[in-house]
Structure 1
């Protein structure tokens, strides 16, 4: 690769790391935000899954939008939106405003992620696999060290610093991108720039996006509201039912749409692909329940500082990073299923270890659970992607990859919802143990699913 290609990769990598970095740093900030805005735990959990709801809606759509407006334009616009959100979020007069700016930040970073990989694929043709692996190091590395960085910054300068720290990354990525990302070719006549607003909204499936987002937000909000208040009121029931109706309308619309936001018919046509996505959603439910739950346990139950919490959480990311390259070699020889089985066993053992923790257990013993989940995540990062490729026909691999990303976000959203429902108003040791029991049950189900498939393969 020439020097310009390396500068292009640096620009894209600095932009793409913003999404995983901001989704992971906040895990250490929850107790501080809860105290700052005087909220119960389930309400402050919205800072997590509002980010993922926005990402789940934005990333698939930006691929279509970039075909009309150009990838370079979408990439740079996403950075500008992220820059604005990072400046405004610390100035939020209330928690509602903070959520709004957090959603804005999610949209901006998702725009960058959605087109960043495509920019590299199109403009770097020499040693492309190496280029993509470098980008993967940016994103996985950011997710791994996010809690540590967040813990250090919050300890030294408060929760607002985790937003301000984005500014140098955004500025560097924008300045480099402005100079090294080639300008997009003008769209062909009739490719989209002459479409009417109605035609453009149909092409983007604006109706599907609206139904999906509104339905999911309504349903999750009322579930959390009912848990926080301790009773189910008639307005809660009506709004929750409204959310369910909107989601059912979303399914009906997607099945009829020519250009669906999420092509649900793909699942029906390829059962193996459906199973992979379900497994990926469960894996992320397990991983992110620990990722978001353990920092709150350490700070609110064990009274560990943000700094030391970040240091302890670093074991999760480092184990994940160390396991990924080893997983690649193993999977090349044996296929993805053995690695997925071992990953499920490790998550089951980690969940059991969480259940066995007591208020007198040394804090460092938490690292054993973190290490188990970290190694399992490193295995799954490679194994689940390989399983996706094995189960998806080449002609729909683009659609399959989009659905795969959506499954990841569903898993993270469900993890945030699960923690919020279990904990309610206050994060407690007993609630943390209940969380461990539920995670152990899910992990055991994954063990049996993968063990059964191995037996079926041998038969």
Structure 2
């Protein structure tokens, strides 16, 4: 497998367009970053407001999980398809359509008065998010072909992820306490409308390759069905268990559909996903590293927040503020130094340093006491989150380095898909292990704070192992992209 961009055997490229001016490109980058910020902001805001939503709409505990699960299933299962369709019909058209769907669904979610309406609106939000997110990176890498400029643009893109997650936790607490939970969705309306208005002007027009270049309806059904069923199986594991007949049956069926998709793509005359993309070792390696890294970091992003709330009795707003230093240091590193470090030392080396810091972060959390003091026990750990600010921009550059102009949307969709798979696996594996350990200790008479802390320690230890595995994969498979 090679690290350089791959060119299709038969070219169906649209006519090249004149590169936009620097000011126009920066404005387009701002639109893409704003769209991503809105989507990520929405995900973290919802988790903070869940108790208020349950009380107001009368959700059962099992039903409440579908406020998150319905979004994840739609989002994760459609990213790959949306990325490829964006290559075919035009990435600008896909991004604007997805942003419009997400904004309209946010209005519906904010106005929801029943659980069914809110769950349906969240599913529509997931569809819109997939459409916009899948092509965001594809637009970015074609806008900024020069390596130095691309590195800086990817740093901005990565920063919006960290900023959205952390701002969402704080903003969710403020909006829920000061107004009500409906406003966690209404806040998306001005952001979405602004992104649509500016994006229609600033984003570069592209006609795409045409639907005939990838008109594979059967392949689309196989990949969407396989991913949707697989993500559904994973998010339900906490209720059904890993060895339950239902879990094993649905998991096997998902693998069968995905295998069928791979076979179909190897034989189809116009494949939906040209397998040439997977000949790039950087594409394959970066996506594997991302699955492991994101799964491991679930234990930091979510379980630390749960420790603050359930063990240390922090409120929603206090929890968001406590997690804020991590977002600040991630933003400072990704925006301030990551591009320069990648240019000087190469993405592979910077990624390995970032993963080393993240390993130290999770290892330190395995010793977090049940009566932790924030300044001495948690604040230093937050600073180690700088590793994420180093790792994500480098990993994104490596993951997109194997895509040519015709495959940028597909590579972007694939990269986002593996991110969602890693998140779903992190939720399923680490939360299940933590809950099982806690339940065992509670039945033995261990006080609840100590039992919860021990469960989190187990999840942090497994997360440390996942990051170490990611380092091994990065070391053996990734190579610096050639200029």
Q: TM-score range by the shorter chain?
A: 0.7 to 0.9
Matched, 1:253 2:253: no
Mark the runs of 5 or more structure 1 residues left unpaired by the alignment.
455-459
Length-normalised TM-score, structure 1: 0.78
Distance 1:255-1:313 versus aligned 2 partners, 3 A rule: farther
- Distance in 2 between residues matched to 1:169 and 1:18, nearest whole Å: 7
Distance 1:363-1:32 versus aligned 2 partners, 3 A rule: farther
Give the alignment partner of residue 407 of structure 1, picking from 418, 423, 432: 418
Determine the structure 1 residue equivalent to 2:46: 26
- Distance in 2 between residues matched to 1:117 and 1:348, nearest whole Å: 27
Residue-by-residue CA offset, 1:273-317 (whole Å, 9 max, x unaligned): 433321121111122332122222222332211111111111121
Greater relative CO, 1 or 2 (CA 8 Å, sep 6+): 2
Matches within 5 A, 1:279-294: 279-294=289-304
1:86 counterpart SS class? helix
Distance 1:452-1:118 versus aligned 2 partners, 3 A rule: closer
Matched, 1:438 2:448: no
2:337 counterpart SS class? helix
Matched, 1:151 2:151: no
Determine the structure 2 residue equivalent to 1:356: 367
Distance 1:279-1:45 versus aligned 2 partners, 3 A rule: farther
Distance 1:257-1:162 versus aligned 2 partners, 3 A rule: farther
- Distance in 2 between residues matched to 1:12 and 1:362, nearest whole Å: 39
Residue-by-residue CA offset, 1:52-101 (whole Å, 9 max, x unaligned): 44333333333443456544543333233112211222344555543332
Count of residues in Structure 1 that have an aligned counterpart in Structure 2: 439
Question: Does the aligned pair in 1 maintain the 2:215–2:272 contact within 8 Å?
Answer: no
Question: Does the aligned pair in 1 maintain the 2:222–2:257 contact within 8 Å?
Answer: no
1:102 counterpart SS class? helix
Determine the structure 1 residue equivalent to 2:341: 330
2:196 counterpart SS class? helix
Give the alignment partner of residue 422 of structure 1, picking from 425, 428, 433: 433
Determine the structure 2 residue equivalent to 1:319: 329
Matched, 1:369 2:393: no
Give the alignment partner of residue 209 of structure 1, picking from 210, 214, 223: 223
Question: Does the aligned pair in 2 maintain the 1:27–1:292 contact within 8 Å?
Answer: no
State the shift of 1:375 in Å. Answer: 0.8
Question: Does the aligned pair in 2 maintain the 1:28–1:309 contact within 8 Å?
Answer: no
Distance 1:218-1:86 versus aligned 2 partners, 3 A rule: closer
State the shift of 1:21 in Å. Answer: 1.9
Moved more, 345-354 or 271-280: 271-280
Matches within 5 A, 1:287-306: 287-306=297-316
Length-normalised TM-score, structure 2: 0.75
Distance 1:141-1:180 versus aligned 2 partners, 3 A rule: same
Matched, 1:176 2:201: no
1:322 counterpart SS class? helix
